[in-house]
Amino acid sequence: MMNLALHEKRRLLEQRKEPRQPAEGPVLVRFADPQPEEILGQLMDVSPSGFRMAHANQSLQSGQVVDFSHSLAAGAARVMWNRITDQRVETGFLIVTAK
């Protein structure tokens, strides 16, 4: 019988429409609503239409549009999901416009 965690991982991988590539380096995210804020995090992976970052801020909300910059791209991105653990937050972004 397949381990449930492994089954869930495979299901999520099958839903991905684009390959992810491991990446690293700083990511800066800025937004003004509900108040001006900057979040500095670490790039985890990238795809042609998005990226994932690790950081320590729990204020990002799904659907929120932010300005971002990292070594491979810059522009505006929509927060798609957050995964909050004891030590950090991981956030997945969909790039809306690239500069």
Chain Cα centroid distance, residue 51: 5
Q: Identify whether 16 is part of a domain.
A: no
- List C-alpha distances in Å: 50 to 20, 24, 34, 84: 9, 14, 23, 19
Q: Identify whether 14 is part of a domain.
A: no
Residue 20's beta-bridge partner residues?
none
What is the arithmetic mean of pLDDT over 89-95? Answer: 97
Q: What is the CATH number of the domain that holds 82?
A: 2.40.10.220
- pTM recorded for the entire structure: 0.83
Is it the case that residue 36 has pLDDT exceeding 90? Answer: yes
Give residue 29's domain range: 21-98
Q: Identify whether 40 is part of a domain.
A: yes
Could you give the CA distance from residue 90 to residue 62 in angstroms, rounded to a whole number?
A: 12
| Overall domain count for the chain | 1
DSSP 13: H
Q: Identify whether 11 is part of a domain.
A: no
Best-predicted range by mean pLDDT (15-19, 21-25, 32-36)? 21-25
Q: Identify whether 47 is part of a domain.
A: yes
Average pLDDT in the chain = 89
Is it the case that residue 29 has pLDDT exceeding 70? Answer: yes
Q: Identify whether 29 is part of a domain.
A: yes
Q: Identify whether 2 is part of a domain.
A: no
